[in-house]
Amino acid sequence: MTDTRSTKSPGPPETSPLHAKDEAWSGRFSEPVDPFVLAYTASVGFDQRLAYADIQASLAHASMLAAVGVLSAQDLGAIEQGLAQVQAEIEAGTFHWQLALEDVHLNIERRLTEIAGEAGKRLHTGRSRNDQVATDLRLYLRGEVDQLASRIDRLQGALVALASGHTDTVMPGYTHLQVAQPVVFGHHLLAYVEMLERDRERLADARRRLNRLPLGSAALAGTTFPIERDLVARALRFEALCQNSMDAVSDRDFAVEFCAAGALIMAHLSRLAEELVLWLSPGFGFIALPDRFTTGSSIMPQKRNPDVAELARGKSGRVFGHVVALLTLVKGQPLTYNKDNQEDKEPVFDTIDTLHASLRAFAEMVPGIEVDRASMRRAALQGYSTATDLADYLVRRGVAFRDAHEAVARAVRLAAERGCALSELPLAELRALAPQAGADALPALTVEASVAARNHVGGTAPAQVAAQVKRWQETLAQRAPLG
CB-CB contact of 153 with 200 (8 Å): yes
* Residue 404: Cβ within 10 Å count: 22
> Of 30, 270, 297, 316, which is the active-site residue?
297
> Of 63, 124, 176, 316, which is the active-site residue?
176
* Residue 96: Cβ within 10 Å count: 12
CB-CB contact of 107 with 98 (8 Å): yes
CB-CB contact of 131 with 216 (8 Å): yes
Closest among 481, 447, 461 to 190, alpha carbons compared: 461
Closest among 243, 254, 229 to 140, alpha carbons compared: 254
Residue 297 bears catalytic tag? yes
Q: Where are the alpha helices (DSSP H) in 281-344?
A: 307-331
Residue 176 bears catalytic tag? yes
303 exposure class (CB count in 10 Å sphere: 0-12, 13-18, 19+): exposed
Query: CA-to-CA distance for 142 and 136, rounded, in angstroms?
Result: 10
* Residue 113: Cβ within 10 Å count: 17
- Backbone φ, ψ for residue 446 (5° rounding): -75, 155
Active site residues: 176, 297
